[in-house]
Amino acid sequence: MTKYIIPFTFTKDMNAVEICKLLAKHNINIGTQTSYTKNEYLISGTMESLTRFIAESDSDYPAKQWVDYVYENQVAAIA
């Protein structure tokens, strides 16, 4: 199963504990912090787990609508 690596920005209104719980719930790995000023990190997971995580953490849109976002913003894909 392919895992994708994408950037994810923690906005100021996000609670770190809640985000950590969502990361664990969706089996998402958090990696390198890419920007201290933007609070951006690289996260990795399967397409399904990433889209569900994004939809639940940052959106009113369903997970299916985030597939293009993952493809367009991926840093890498690991088979």
The reported pLDDT for the residue numbered 63 is: 80
Q: Contact 23/52 with Cβ under 8 angstroms?
A: no
Q: Burial, 49: exposed, middle or buried (Cβ in 10 Å; 0-12, 13-18, 19+)?
A: buried
Whole-prediction pTM value?
0.86
Q: What is the mean pLDDT of residues 71-75?
A: 92
Cα 43 to Cα 15, 24, 50, 59, distances in angstroms: 17, 12, 8, 17
pLDDT per position as a tens digit, 40-62: 899 999 999 999 998 888 777 77
Confidence of residue 70 (pLDDT cuts 50, 70, 90): very high
Convert the pLDDT of each residue in 12-41 to its tens digit: 787 889 889 999 999 999 988 888 778 889
Are the beta carbons of 4 and 44 closer than 8 angstroms?
Answer: yes
